Amino acid sequence: MSAIVNTANTVLAQLPDGATAADAKGISAASSAGFAYGLAAIGPGIGIGYLVGQAVQAMARQPESAGQVQTTMFLGIAFTEALALIGFVVFILLKFV
Amino acid sequence: MTTDPMQVRIDGPSPAMSVALDLAKRSLWLAPVVVFGSAAIWGIEGVYSTLYALLIVVGNFLLSAYLLAVTGRISAALMAGAALFGFLLRLGLIFLAVMLVRDAWWVELVPLGLTLIVAHLACCSGEMRYVSGTLASPGLKPQPTPNPYLPSSDADDAAASDAVPSSSNAAPSAPNAQ
């Protein structure tokens, strides 16, 4: 959180003299939305990595159950990815609506 | 038998691809509901945006399954890499697909975003119920059955006779017999 505040302060300090409060608000909103989207993608990335790593290990140990493992792995990936999609939708709604 | 993920290959038909195609079929059932809903609230722009979001969701599923299927035939470790970097690639593609059209006259961002989330979760939830049911009770998995009122080819008849034994030569079924 302090990184977001520091970055926003740095950006705001570099604004030209003619910049209005609306410009500053727009810049801070854009940087906040970008941080939100980036943070929202970290969790699903870790989740997908863990999920696929365990699934590959299971398939390597028991190749005869690879079909079942792959099916559940694909659904797990889809559900985990929904979190990143939610972050993306929040980003576009914050930034452009 | 090797347990090295670098050497293990996943041959045969890809379950991920069949799941993705099933998800695409489910989105066809979902489409009228979300289209009518967004038409009632956002009008024609909502309809176009909802259809575009559904297209993005289905394309995302199909691309994900295609990457897993292709790389799984090479090695399981490569499939893991494709899953992770494919996640980044698909996020980027979704970002591009939305950013490129966001100023178009037919785009309404609220129904577009809501449909992205709702369609994704609804398709996954429906598929999860189906997959859970077939994993718990494989015998209940729907089999292709011939329609007696439609003309069928000899190949269909042969496949049906393999899948469903006829009553004349099948053993009497007694599920609860000890």
Note whether B117 contacts A85, CB cutoff 8 Å.
yes
pLDDT in tens, B142-165: 565 565 665 555 555 555 555 444
Helical axes A21-61 vs A66-96, angle rounded to 10° = 180
Residues of B in contact with A60 (CB under 8 A): 2-5, 8, 76
Residue B121, class by beta-carbon neighbours within 10 Å (0-12 exposed, 13-18 middle, 19+ buried)? middle
ipTM over 0.90: no
pLDDT value at residue B56:
95
Residue B113 has its nearest CB partner, among A41, A56, A92, at A92
- Entry pTM: 0.75
Residues of A in contact with B93 (CB under 8 A): none
B136 to chain A, any CB pair closer than 8 A? The answer is: no
pLDDT value at residue B112:
94
In chain B, where the domains are located: 15-163
Q: Is the dihedral of CA B57, B63, B67, B68 positive or negative?
A: positive
As a whole number of angstroms, the distance between CA B130 and CA B133 comes to: 5
> What domains are defined for chain A?
2-96 (1.20.20.10)
DSSP 8-state secondary structure symbol assigned to residue B172 = P
- Residue A78 pLDDT level (bands cut at 50, 70, 90): very high
Instruction: Identify the residue with better confidence: A14 or B71.
Output: B71
pLDDT in tens, B54-105: 999 999 999 999 999 999 888 888 888 999 899 999 999 999 999 999 889 9
Residue B3 has its nearest CB partner, among A45, A61, A67, at A61
* Assigned token pair, B22: 């099933």
A52 to chain B, any CB pair closer than 8 A? The answer is: yes
